[in-house]
Amino acid sequence: MSTGRGTADWMSSYSDAVFAVIVTIMVLQLKPPDSTRFSALFELWPTAISYVVSYVFVAIIWINHHSLTRFLGNPSLGLIWVNFIHLFLVSLLPFTTAWMAQTKLAAVPVMVYAGLFLCIDGIYNVFERHILLRSDDIDEQGRLLARRRSLLALGLFAAAAVAAAIQPWIGFALVCAALLLHVKPDVGYGTRRKYPEGHPTGA
């Protein structure tokens, strides 16, 4: 069990490092205006909006990911690969963010942006479901709430990708709405199984 927990801690630490690199890359893509006028800053509104949403998304992913791995015992090789795929998809976020910002939230870039969120959330659902089904420390109500919220967010991301083709701002707004569902982690806070008093696993 100690070896399994060590593997889980290694996977969590590696993921934390990747998230930190992704945020750094996004910061490096922020370019100052050539003009010395304050009004030039307002021309950067697409970059500002895109960066803030993407930064919040990475923060939400990290918080939920970190919360989930607390319940992870001995991760299987398959789950480790799922985690690598998840990190790979997240690493594409700086590219889609920059494209959307440079085109001032045009339809196709917003569609790709929302589509990437859909893929990231889809693989995260696989990661989450694996842990929820195998952890004895999460009560049934916590599992049910987590699955409902995750599936609702997935549906919103899919709707955002479709809506962006018609009206990019609607698609972008749906992306933001989906993010709000995961501001508080699905599991990890108030979802631990309640054990009877005196139980060795209880608090």
pLDDT digits (tens, 9 = 90+) for 61-115: 888 888 888 777 778 889 899 999 999 999 999 999 999 988 988 999 999 999 9
Is 24 part of a structural domain of the chain?
yes
3-state secondary structure of 109: helix
Give yes or no for residue 139 having a pLDDT over 90: no
| Residue that the structure tokens 């690199």 belong to | 21
Helices (H), 70-167: 77-91, 93-102, 107-134, 140-166
pLDDT for residue 4: 52
From its phi and psi, is residue 200 left (phi > 0), alpha (psi between -120 and 50) or beta? Answer: alpha
Q: How many CB atoms lie within 10 A of CB 61?
A: 22
Is 196 part of a structural domain of the chain?
no
Highest mean pLDDT among 13-22, 69-78, 139-148: 13-22
pLDDT in tens, 2-15: 455 677 788 888 88
pLDDT for residue 5: 60
Task: Supply 105's token pair.
Answer: 């939230």
Nearest residue to 76 (alpha-carbon basis) of 125, 131, 121:
131
Domain that residue 79 falls in: 2-28+43-180
In terms of pLDDT, which residue wins out, 20 or 169?
169
Is 19 part of a structural domain of the chain?
yes
CB 182 within 8 Å of CB 153: yes
Count of domains for the chain:
1
Q: How many CB atoms lie within 10 A of CB 125?
A: 16
Kindly indicate the confidence band of residue 188, based on its pLDDT and cuts at 50, 70 and 90. low
Q: How far is the C-alpha of 108 from the C-alpha of 171, rounded, in Å?
A: 11
pLDDT for residue 202: 43
In terms of pLDDT, which residue wins out, 45 or 172?
172
Tell me what the pLDDT averaged over the chain comes to.
82
Is 193 part of a structural domain of the chain?
no
In terms of pLDDT, which residue wins out, 11 or 119?
119
CB 133 within 8 Å of CB 94: no
Is 91 part of a structural domain of the chain?
yes
Q: Which residues pair with 138 in a beta bridge?
A: 192
Is 36 part of a structural domain of the chain?
no
Q: How many CB atoms lie within 10 A of CB 163?
A: 21
Q: How far is the C-alpha of 98 from the C-alpha of 4, rounded, in Å?
A: 39
Altogether, the residues listed in the chain come to a count of 203
Is 191 part of a structural domain of the chain?
no
Give yes or no for residue 137 having a pLDDT over 80: no
CB 86 within 8 Å of CB 120: yes
Kindly indicate the confidence band of residue 134, based on its pLDDT and cuts at 50, 70 and 90. confident
Q: How many CB atoms lie within 10 A of CB 166?
A: 9
